[in-house]
Amino acid sequence: MPLVYAGVCSHAPGITGRADQADPEVRGAFVESLDGMRAAIEASGAEALVVVAAEHFANFFMDNMPAFAMGMADHYDGPIEDPDWLRIPKFRAPGNRDLSQRLVTEVMQTVDVAYSEEWLFDHGIAVPLHFLTPGYDLPIVPVNVNCQGPPLTPLHRAWAFGEALRRAADAVPERIALVGTGGISHWPATPDSGKVNEAWDRDFLDRWCRNDRQALLDYDDLTVYAEAGQGGFEIRTFLAVSAAAAGAPGTVRFYAPIPIFAVGCTVADYDLHA
Amino acid sequence: MSLYAVQKFLYRLNREPDLQGRYRDDRDATLAGFELAGDLSDDEVAALAGPDVGYLFHLGVNGQILMHFAAFHGIEWADYLQRMRDGIAEHGPVREGVYAMTGYDGVEAHATELGHRPGGAGA
């Protein structure tokens, strides 16, 4: 079936872990937009959710770091973090090994993707799922793009990966929803945590909504690091979704810096039927 | 001295409950049994056993790895950030990697500038 949903959202651990420290009104509007994303995914009739994440050393380390990896298991456990710190209880999310295998097989036709039958979720996936599938009743296909351990996955390869994901999603009979999580600009887990370059974020989201491939690939890591922090490297997940959306126009449903969450909180999606 | 070995230990500790149990019982013995123990300096072993979050940040440990390690030790968020600042003040700038400090007025000043109200319990 053709891809039924494509969107992006933030995943910072403070969104759940420090929920009570944010302005209740601003946080409420953000959560409302995440609820809207959940409703849209449910309305799409999705039978599986592919989550393109930028994991934080939950599964992969510099002893064997893939540029791309996909999970291929019937279930996934998380979070690896202390549940009291993240304020997400330990959970087991369903997977679909057979579906993953078919998706991986198709992606491999153009992109060398690693696969793993063992995969633990950290906040990069656990936080989005907390809002998008709170009952853990939708099979998940986890995906990782290396945004953490340099040398990082090149942006144009993240784009090619997104195109391959779309081709794979369209080729299987199941209805597939796709969500990318990450960034945008932020300096997470440093003493500068909370810093956000709002102007940079808004310019990026403008490019994302126009689904302007040339503009979205017109970044380099040195500039991103200087202007958007090491957290900005996670734009790779957003780019993969843009490529998968194949030119569809996007809409920002929510954007606001929430400093205690350490990121400009974002919810956006593409209109795949435009 | 090996930042790679320091981070490898933390990576494993962050994701392996069995290793977490052994570390809780006897930090020094667990570190001595680590497969890359021979690559760790005495200062690095002491920081991993401490834990000395500030020194580990100074060494260049990836912030994501360090954040999970701090959470494992039950270190509150504000305390975690302060320990990193203290580490830089005591030992100097981050030695290597991409998790250096770049300058920031802090969350409270930033939230005020944005017109946000303070959070409330149960929000």
Summarised one tens digit per residue, pLDDT across range A145-162 is 999 989 999 999 999 999
**Is residue A11 a contact partner of residue A123, using CB atoms and an 8 Å limit?**
yes
**Average model confidence (pLDDT) for chain B?**
92
Q: How many CB pairs under 8 A join A and B?
A: 124
Residue A200 in domain: yes
Nearest neighbour of B99 by CB, restricted to A24, A82, A190 = A190
pLDDT of residue B122: 41
pLDDT digits (tens, 9 = 90+) for A223-269: 999 999 999 999 999 999 999 999 999 999 999 999 999 999 999 99
The alpha-carbon gap from A2 to the nearest alpha carbon of chain B, in Å, equals 36
A49: pLDDT strictly greater than 90: yes
Tokens standing for residue A105: 């097989």
Question: Rounded CA gap, A195 and B66, in Å?
Answer: 18
CB contact under 8 A, B110 and A26: no
In percent, the amount of chain A with pLDDT more than 90 equals 98
pLDDT of residue B120: 63
CB contact under 8 A, A61 and B7: yes
pLDDT of residue B62: 94
- By C-alpha distance, the chain A residue nearest B116 is A23
User: Would an 8 Å CB–CB cutoff place A194 in contact with chain B?
Assistant: yes
What residues contact A15, with CB distance under 8 A and at least 6 apart?
A30, A127, A261, A265
The CATH code of the domain that includes A121 is 3.40.830.10
Structural domain of residue A134, as residue ranges? 5-265
Give residue limits of the domains in chain B. 3-113
Nearest neighbour of B116 by CB, restricted to A17, A23, A58 = A23
**Average model confidence (pLDDT) for chain A?**
97
pLDDT of residue B39: 96
CB contact under 8 A, B14 and A26: no
Q: Which CATH architecture has domain B3-113?
A: Orthogonal Bundle (1.10)
CB contact under 8 A, A82 and B71: yes
- By C-alpha distance, the chain B residue nearest A26 is B116
Query: What is the mean predicted confidence (pLDDT) over A71-85?
Result: 96
Residue A270 in domain: no
CB contact under 8 A, A189 and B63: yes
Amino acid of residue B18: D
Q: Looking at beta carbons, which residues of chain A come within 8 Å of B64?
A: 56-57, 148, 188-189
Residue A274 in domain: no
Nearest neighbour of B98 by CB, restricted to A195, A230, A256 = A230
The helix/strand/coil state of A7 is strand
pLDDT digits (tens, 9 = 90+) for B9-41: 999 999 999 999 999 999 999 999 999 999 999
The alpha-carbon gap from A148 to the nearest alpha carbon of chain B, in Å, equals 8
Tally the C-alpha atoms within 13 A of residue A225's C-alpha that lie toward its C-beta.
12
Among A149-158, A164-173, A177-186, B98-107, name the one with the lowest average pLDDT: B98-107
Give the residue among A154, A109, A111, A124 at the shortest CA–CA distance from A60.
A124
Residue A182 in domain: yes
Say if residue B19 is exposed, middle or buried (CB neighbours under 10 Å; 0-12, 13-18, 19+). middle
Q: Is the dihedral of CA A100, A13, B84, B71 positive or negative?
A: negative
Q: Provide the domain count of chain A.
A: 1
B123: pLDDT strictly greater than 50: no
